[in-house]
Amino acid sequence: MIIVTGGAGFIGSNLVKSLNRQGRRDIIVVDNLTDGAKFVNLADCEIMDYLDQDAFLNKIKTNHQFNQKIQAIFHQGACSATTEWNGRYMLDNNYEYSKVLLHYCLDNRTAFIYASSAAVYGLDTHFKEQSAYEKPLNVYGYSKLLFDQYVRRHLPAALSQIVGLRYFNVYGPREQHKAAMASVAWHFNNQIKEQGKVKLFAGCDGYANGEQRRDFVFIEDVVKVNLWFLDHPNKSGIFNVGTGRSQSFNEMANAVINWHGKGEIEYIPFPDHLKSHYQSFTQADISALREVGYHDEFAKVEIGVAAYLDLINQKPA
């Protein structure tokens, strides 16, 4: 049996769907459906059961034994809003919750594969899984870093798998509920359909208009990494999950424009409130992921965006 927390969310629901494709139906999804719109991410999935986050957490805290042996917990549930500044809420939801699950897995020899974030690096231009480069800009990034630090203290004595995956800029299907926090690919697609143009920030931090760069990684590649670790239970650690290359917002915008066969780019002034708080450049160092044995290639923006837009715009094959 597999448990996916945040299973109605973006990455979680894609994980569930991919497990279904592998023939797995013994999946418990854990989430908080106060935002009921997320149900659509599970409507085409087959699961064994659904548990509300609070009910699940109560079971875990009492060391509840489920009817079947849990092979792994994919812990994708978190508050991922970088604009959320309620530190008490963020640490309770992202840090304390994660600690409870970690210890349950350690006590029961269950694999624990969890979502970390590239937000731990802040404005640093070195994206390697080392404390010298970890300088988060917001309380979200700090909550992820705090748990990574906690995991590092427990890894040496762990008798079961622990894997932290630092996601970079993920885009792909099943993110529609994220609204403002959805990927730029999602927003650019909507802007082209509604306005016929894509809006990008003007230059900043020494970058020309729209030339700020991010490591954009397609959701299918993120899921493949998660499932690779499931199949390699002897591999543990904290790893970056990105393509290992940076591409500009202009490249992302042009990939969307090229798919639609129309549209243009409009550059808007860079917001004052984001100055000194904006990652103008990210690029995952994936050497640790390669060294542990993961060798699959990651899709470039031009390929990933085309596959994504084919799905959400229902373009015939």
Q: How far is CA 317 from the centre of its chain?
A: 28
Q: At what angle do helices 249-260 and 184-195 cross, to 10 degrees?
A: 50
Alpha helices in the chain (DSSP H): 10-21, 53-61, 87-91, 97-108, 139-154, 184-195, 219-230, 249-260, 287-291, 301-312
The one-character DSSP state at 281 is: B
Tokens linked to 250: 């202009």
Instruction: Report the Cα–Cα distance between both ends of the chain, in Å, rounded.
Output: 35
Rounded distance between C-alpha atoms, residue 215 and residue 247, angstroms: 6
Rounded distance between C-alpha atoms, residue 45 and residue 242, angstroms: 26
Tokens linked to 110: 């269950």
β-strand 169-171 against 216-218: which pairing, if any? parallel
Q: Do the beta carbons of residue 129 and residue 166 sit within 8 Å?
A: yes
Q: How far, in Å, are 24, 81, 128 from residue 133 at the CA level?
A: 38, 22, 7
Rounded distance between C-alpha atoms, residue 148 and residue 164, angstroms: 7
Catalytic residues: 140, 178
Q: How far, in Å, are 54, 178, 238 from residue 235 at the CA level?
A: 30, 31, 10
